[in-house]
Each structure stands twice: as C-alpha cells, then as structure tokens.
Structure 1
C-alpha cells in the first residue's frame, strides 16, 4: 500500500524539479551528465503521486544540488565546487530528503501515517471517498432558484454555508489525485452509504442534523454545541458541566447606548477524529456559531498564507492525529479572517487537554459566560 510518506517524497521531488525549471527528460540528462546515469522513465516513477516508486538512496544526493544548476544545457555544480552557502543548503536539503525516503520505505504504522498525512490535512492517501456533508439552507432563505421547476434552477441555492463548501471542495480536489472521489451532499439527503468514507461535516447542529447526531455520539470530544435563549442567531460552544462549564460566545460591536450591532468575532470548531462508522477513515468537523465561524474553521487549513504553519503546528502538537480546537474567528467588514494558530490568543480551547497546544489567556469581556 502506498504510504503518505511515499507520496510526500514524490511531491517533494516533483517540486524540486519544477523549481529548477526542468522537464523529466532534462533532469535525467543533467543527472546522467553528473555521473549517475538515470532515465526519464525512472524519474517519472519516482515523481508519480499514484503508487510512486521510492528512488534508490544513491539517487538522493543530486537532488540536493538542483539549486546549483547553471549553463545551457543545465548542469549541476560538482560537490567539490560548492560554496560555503551552497554546501549548507545542500546538506539541509539532503537531510530532509533522507528523512522522507526513510518514511517512504518504513511501512508506517496507522498512527504514524495519520500524523504524516496531517501535515497536509486535506490529502488522503487511500482510495476515499471523501463526502462533504453541508447543511440545508432554511426554506425562507433558499430563494426562487432553489425550485427545481424554475428554468434557472441551481441546486446550490438549497445549501447553507456555501462559502465554506466551495472553499473546501476546491481545496480537497486540488490536494489529491484526480481519481479520488470527492462529493458534497445536503444533510437532508445523506444515506447510510455516504457515511463509510472520509466524512467532513460543515455547519452546526441547527441546520445540519448529521452534525447534531455525531456530536452526541463522539463522547470523547468534550466540546458541545448548545442553544441558549440569549442568542437566537446561532448555537454556542460549551466545555464542561455545572459550575465548571465554560461557554464560548461571539463578540458584537456596540452602539453608544450599548445596543448590539455587528458581529466582530465568531467562534469556530475544527476537529478531526476517526470516523465512528469506519475507523480506517476520518471524520472532520468544521463548525461555527454562525456561518463566519464555519468558514474560519475551514480556512484555518486552506488559506495559502497560513495553512502550512497551521498544519505543521497541528502535526507537531497532536501526533496521534486526533484533535479538537475552538478558534477565534475575527470578522472585518462582514468577512471572516483566517485564524493563525501560531498566535495562542486565537486558540480558545484545545483537546486533548494534555497536548502541548495551550489556549490563549483571556480575551475581550463577554467571551466566556
């Protein structure tokens, strides 16, 4: 079976060649001229993302000198001619490639495979499928184009959290092999067969009954979503019970007379656990008090500006691959900002609580009940 480490190595080799501006044939020629005869077919087998062939360890070293390419046709600088800076960069890259090759060959355990894969949170090394379950928009909010008898019928008008759905669906398709089946469905139309692959649940308990069902079933995830009379626009998150209960609330701007105005900050839940219906697949929750919280939870691991650092932090702090975090989602001019997990203030709660990930201290008044 192809391991996440093998795919990660193949992607890294492909990226190094692309950064050097070479085709597979040109790379093979440059390596062969360097004294290690390589065919374009071998390069192709090392780089393919579907069942890649790990390259021999002796072939790693020339890749570490790809940044030194010069001339036409392009040639590698020899080891003896590397400058001090080039030697340092060469050694660092060679160490990275060696670690990836070790992972690719090592037959990772299931836990390690999850940990490695979590560095690219939305990459799935198996055959899937991936099913995104999105909430139904309430009937009054759907509009005339949701009517299938309308000549301009558009199915997406029946969905809530469309921003989050489009963002996530496109990202998962881009991250994975084109043959990986990726679907999205309305919560009201989910069948039993949809629940055995990798599940992604968008939205909260009011509009997504699948989220309501699975949050009740995941007793080890201590985060609950509850309705309270004081908030009619969404459902808050809570941890603990009785006097130890902590409630996580949205933040609103206020007028001079104290009246509530615009949403300034929402709360998002990002969680990943084993799928309770198929333990070899995953269940990911992207939830929020409001739709901005849902989108913020999604963009934590899709926004190109911060996702790599966020994914690296999650992989480091949650080595078993299961986690749940409540994140602060700032809202600016009506738009949700992507939470940066490197800032502890953006983490309101983290599970497992014994992880190294520590919530930020405090926040504006009204954040907790």
Structure 2
C-alpha cells in the first residue's frame, strides 16, 4: 500500500535532515526561530504515522537550508536566497516545488477541508494589518471618543483597501489569529508575526520605519516637493513612477481658495486655479520575509494615492482577475519574494483591478533572484 501524501512529506523531511547530519534540535535553530519551533514540532513533522503539516513558509526555509551543504561541526544557519550560487538556486527551486507539491497533495486529499489558497492564506498567526491613521483635521466628528456615536473606524485612512482586504483575509483564514490596527497600536508580537502594511509612508509610520529595514528591496516610496497629497515610488537610479492626470479642465465654478484647497487635501488637483482629474494611480505590492522575523512575512500594499492602495489589494482579491494574477506571481516568483509596481486606471473615479497578464499594467518587477543574476 502506497504511503499517504502526509507520510511521504514526513519521510522526505526526515531524510533531508539526516542528509545534512543534523539533530532535530539543530534543525530547529537553523530554521531561524528557536522560540517558536521546538524539537517536538520537528518530530511531529517527521512522524509518518501521524504527521503534522508544516506551513508553506517553513517548507520554503527547509528547501533554502538544504540547497547548501553544511558542515557537521559548525552551527547551521539559514542562508539568504540571493546568496545561493547557480547550482544551489536550481536545487532550491526544485526542492521547494517538491515539498509544496507534497503538502498540497496532503491538504487537498478527499475529506480534507481546504483553508484557502494564495497570497492571503497563512498557516500560522498572528497576522496583523497596519492601516494608516487619518490626521485629526480630516476625520469625521464620530472619530472623537467623546462623541456618543464614536466609531473607531473613522480614525482609519485607506478604509476601502482595509475592508476589501479584511473580508478576503478572514474568508481564507477563518480560524487564524488576525487583527487590524492603527500604527501606534502595533506591539512586538504584531511586528514579528505576519505583517501587512497598507498605505504610504507619511500616514503609516510603521511602513516608514520598516521600509529602511528591507534593505534588498530596490523600490522606495519617497516624498517629493511637487506632490502634496501622495508619495511617489523611486528606484536606486532615480527613476520615478508617478500617477497620470488629465489635462486641465475648464470649470464654470470659481476656484476654491488656497485655504479651502488645503483643508480638502486637493493641492494636487487644483493647480494655478485650474482643476484636473486623476486618471491613473500607481500600485505597489510586495511580499518579502519580515525583517524583524524571517520565519514570517511582510506584505506591502501601497499607492501614490488611496486608489493605488486599493488596486494593490484587489490584485489578489477581485474575483475577475485574482486567479490569473495568482498564477502569474507563482510562475514569475517561485521563491515567494517579490515586488511589483502596477498601473491602476480609474474609470468614473473607481480604481480598476490590475490584470498582470496585460504587460502594459506592469511597470516594474523585482525578486531576489534578479539581484543574484546581476
């Protein structure tokens, strides 16, 4: 009788550890988080009679670790993907695919409930979405705790993106420990779990702080003197990615005063007393290891303006495009880490979900393998 997919995976993991001449204790330390991964946990993954399935993230770490040969005498360490040579990278890619296929077969066997699929599915918590806080001057009176009808969500900016993300996140992870918080509410467990950052660097100080810690990522969001209401994306060579505006429009109404424009946050709309319309925003979607805990992930959904933030989320939530986009990302970035800049067209003021199979929609792509090949 052929072994079950779970038993096959358990046997393979045990064989990989033995090939590296490691004890279970050393392997737990090598995977990078001894506080969360115990010897008993490693043992449960290798128990072919009653195996427990490791998360997809941990299987990636297994493949990454086993792509290199390690000395039996040295304390083993998990390498970075960009530090692998060509043959090690080939071994990593093949082994990662093998382990994920075994895990998928175990999870999708008859009688096994699927927990969902894709970028927004996490095997372990916590998962915390950090959403920007709107400045006090732009909040509803209901955001004041002294108001009898106080509503906490009025403190949030990028609420469209948060609602879109939150519904999908909860549907894919019904039993997971998940939360959404304002930047000042984030604590240490939040920051070292799976972290999702919404919005730009000005209203989300957590996004601003972590941007400098993800040193390998070439895309940075920066403040520029000519934009008042958003921040552009920039590459190390100075190339910028900006939204598109219509030509200036004739208006039958008198232009608002400078004070009214500032109060309404429409400095980028009104220029020299003339109005223009935003017709295309830029969305930024990235998934990399959390720089504060490499066994967890950091996902960034941002834009120059809020329509770009919503577009970054809807790449993988909108039923019209998400399956194709998931397949595109899986094929283009098999290692799991990537960053992508996309066009977000606006039709009647509504942000359209980018279809990554349309080359025009993709402005720039990056993965750690790009740097290794350079």
Bin of the TM-score, shorter chain as denominator length: 0.5 to 0.7
Residues 145 and 153 in structure 1, CA contact (< 8 A), matched pair in contact too: yes
Offset at residue 352 of structure 1 (A): 2.2
- 1:251 corresponds in structure 2 to 244
Distance 1:246 1:316, change over 3 A: same
Give matches, 1:120-269, under 5 Å: 120-125=118-123, 127-176=124-173, 178-241=174-237, 245-255=238-248, 259=274, 261-269=276-284
1:304 and 2:314 are equivalent in the alignment: no
1:313 and 2:311 are equivalent in the alignment: no
- TM-score of the pair, normalised by structure 1: 0.63
Distance 1:107 1:353, change over 3 A: same
**RMSD value, Cα:** 2.6
- TM-score of the pair, normalised by structure 2: 0.62
- 1:22 corresponds in structure 2 to none
Q: What are structure 1's unaligned runs of at least 5 residues?
A: 7-50, 53-98, 109-116, 356-369
Distance 1:103 1:160, change over 3 A: same
- Give the Cα–Cα distance (whole angstroms) in 2 for the partners of residues 250 and 101 of structure 1: 38
- 2:303 corresponds in structure 1 to 288
Offset at residue 240 of structure 1 (A): 1.8
Q: Deviations over 1:311-363 (max 9, x none)?
A: 111011101100000010111111111000000111101002866xxxxxxxx
Which secondary structure state, in structure 1, belongs to the residue aligned with residue 302 of structure 2?
strand
- 1:330 corresponds in structure 2 to 345
Q: Deviations over 1:257-311 (max 9, x none)?
A: 7955111000011000011111111100001110000000000010011001101
- Give the Cα–Cα distance (whole angstroms) in 1 for the partners of residues 158 and 100 of structure 2: 40
Provide the aligned length of Structure 1 versus Structure 2: 248
Q: Deviations over 1:203-238 (max 9, x none)?
A: 001100000111111110000111111111100000
- Give the Cα–Cα distance (whole angstroms) in 1 for the partners of residues 190 and 339 of structure 2: 23
Moved over 6 A (4+): 105-108
Q: What are structure 2's unaligned runs of at least 5 residues?
A: 7-51, 54-97, 108-114, 251-270
- Give the Cα–Cα distance (whole angstroms) in 2 for the partners of residues 293 and 119 of structure 1: 24
Distance 1:153 1:318, change over 3 A: same
Q: Deviations over 1:100-119 (max 9, x none)?
A: 995238899xxxxxxxx996
